Structures are given as C-alpha cells and as structure tokens.
A and B are shown apart, each in its own frame.
Chain A
Amino acid sequence: ETGVTQTPRHLVMGMTNKKSLKCEQHLGHNAMYWYKQSAKKPLELMFVYNFKEQTENNSVPSRFSPECPNSSHLFLHLHTLQPEDSALYLCASSQPGTGDGNTIYFGEGSWLTVV
C-alpha cells in the first residue's frame, strides 16, 4: 500500500467509448502525475499537476484529458482512443518544495485495453 489508489485496475473500452481513470492519494502531497507505460517501453511522463494547476503536458494527444479538482484527486478522461493507446497508466504523487519532490509514490496502475 503506497497511499496512492487507482481505479479501475483493469479497463477494456471501445474506440468510440468515453471512460475515466481515477487516482486518489492519501499522503498529503501537492503534486500529482500521470505516467504511461506501453509494452516493452520505458515509463513516459504525461502530465504534472502542482497545487491543482497543470504544469506539464508532455505533448499528449487531446484524446487524453486530465482533471485535478483538488490536490488529492486526479482523473484521466479518455475518449476516442486508439488500440495503440493500450497500456498501463500510472498515477503518482510527491511533495515538491521539500527537497523530496523526486521521492515519488506510484499507484498500482490501471491496465487499459482499447479494442
């Protein structure tokens, strides 16, 4: 248990569906992240939120839409995805400004399959 909870753990969706991934952290952190891990590829940073504000969008296609309503919750809204978007999506959090901003706590991930 890392203090970062992701739901659902597994999701299968069609290319025309709209779904959302949810992340909640119980660590009191102010930064949250979405990472993507495709098969046999390194983790890729997608988005960074700092104090609810998006501070990084790593050239992610608009079919991925993040939302951060507060420092504890992060969503990734998915629509019109492609089969190549099938991957493990990881949420993470950390506490920037404390010297430990890079001590990141990851959730277990959401396995997404687009059919």
Chain B
Amino acid sequence: DAKTTQPTSMDCAEGRAANLPCNHSTISGNEYVYWYRQIHSQGPQYIIHGLKNNETNEMASLIITEDRKSSTLILPHATLRDTAVYYCIATGRDNTGKLIFGQGTTLQVKP
C-alpha cells in the first residue's frame, strides 16, 4: 500500500466546506484512495473511494489530482456531527479489507 500523509488536525466553521487534503505521491496505478472517518468512541465509517475520476456521494466529494499524487475530501456543509478523525488510505481495490490506518486528520467543526 502506498504511504499517505495527512495534516494532524484542522478546524472548520459550521456550515462551511471542509477540505481535507491527503498526499499519496507513491500511489501505484491500480491503487484506489479510500476515506474513512471515526467519530469519537465509535467504529470507523466508510465515506468514499476513487481511482482517478472525481467522485461524489451523499456524504462527500473526492477530488483526485490528475497525476494522482494527492486528493482532497470535501464535506460541502460541515456540521458539528462531522467532527471526527478522517483517514485517507491508498490500497489495491480488492485488498480484502486489510486496511492500514494511519493517524488521520482530526477535524474539529466549530459553531
């Protein structure tokens, strides 16, 4: 799996877009970018994943640069309930769930 680098922490005002960056400069051609988040004291929650095209679902959007060396998770209208640790993981698409979680980014949404 490619190594990913994320900022340790970020703040965002409630109602504004939260943009969480992830660097994965050594990602290989068949590795996807996955995002999970973990709200305090709960199990991690899958958010979104993508290969090279931008992706959007009901939770978030994922923007992957053309060279695939970095990506940004966008929460369009952050709420207090989005306060969590966000994990960016680069791995083969069917790696049978053997995900390696790093330290992630702690996002604090403030009123």
Instruction: Give me the interface of A with B, judged by CB distance under 8 Å.
Output: 2, 4, 31, 33, 42-43, 45, 48, 50, 55-56, 88, 90, 92, 94, 96-109, 111
Contact = CB atoms under 8 A, between A and B. Distances in A.
Nearest to B34: A102
Interface string B66-107: 000000000000000000000001011111111111111000
Interface SS majority for chain A: strand
Contacts of A102: 32, 34, 49, 89, 91-97, 99
Could you tell me the dominant secondary structure of chain B's interface residues? loop
B101 A94 contact: no
B43 A2 contact: yes
B98 A56 contact: yes
A109 B42 contact: yes
Contacts, number: 72
B43 A48 contact: no
Question: Shortest 7 CB-CB distances between A and B: which pairs?
Answer: A106-B43, A43-B101, A101-B94, A94-B97, A96-B96, A42-B101, A104-B97
A97 B96 CA distance: 8
Interface of B: 32, 34, 36, 41-46, 49, 89, 91-104
Nearest to B43: A106
Given A48-B96, A96-B94, A101-B97, 9 more contacts: A4-B43, A33-B97, A45-B100, A50-B96, A88-B41, A96-B96, A102-B97, A104-B99, A108-B43
A33 B91 CA distance: 17
Contacts of B46: 103-105
26 contacts: A4-B43, A33-B97, A42-B102, A45-B98, A45-B100, A48-B97, A48-B98, A90-B44, A92-B43, A96-B96, A96-B97, A99-B93, A101-B95, A102-B34, A102-B49, A102-B92, A102-B93, A102-B95, A102-B96, A102-B97, A103-B46, A103-B49, A104-B36, A106-B43, A106-B44, A107-B43
